[in-house]
């Protein structure tokens, strides 16, 4: 956890504009966007994978999805968006801390 970039952002060690924050998660822009709008919703508790989460952790994921779906317009995602959770290196997970990608801002190819 000491070298986790998302934990450092959470703790204010690394400065990043938080577009939203509550006691469960925060939202930032991806530094290497794959779409015109590419947001990361980052769980505050440090866990690498979904398989590490207990029931409360799974409720945190549900909280994020519920919040983002209700507030998509606030993030300019109301025309549609893609939700991605990469799990492990083979899936493209580059930061070993659970986070959810929200991509939109154009028609996305498959």
Among 38, 97, 99, 101, which one carries the catalytic annotation?
Answer: 99
| Residue 46 known to be catalytic | no
Q: Is there a contact between 81 and 102 (Cβ–Cβ < 8 Å)?
A: yes
Count how many Cα atoms sit within 13 Å of the Cα of residue 75 in the half-sphere of its side chain: 25
CA dist., res. 26 & res. 107, Å (int)? 26
Residue 41 phi/psi, 5-degree rounding, is -100, 115
Three-state secondary structure call for residue 76: coil
Intra-chain end-to-end CA distance of the chain, in Å: 34
Which are the catalytic amino acids?
Answer: 99
């Amino acid at each position: 956890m000491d070298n986790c970039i998302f934990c450092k952002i959470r703790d204010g060690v690394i400065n990043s504009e938080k577009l939203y924050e509550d006691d469960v998660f925060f939202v930032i822009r991806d530094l290497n966007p794959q779409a015109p709008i590419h947001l990361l919703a980052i769980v505050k508790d440090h866990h690498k994978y979904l398989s590490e989460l207990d029931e409360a952790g799974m409720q945190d994921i549900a909280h994020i999805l519920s919040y983002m779906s209700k507030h998509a317009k606030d993030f300019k995602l109301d025309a549609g968006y893609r939700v991605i959770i990469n799990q492990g290196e083979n899936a493209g997970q580059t930061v070993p801390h659970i986070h959810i990608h929200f991509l939109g801002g154009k028609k996305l190819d498959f």
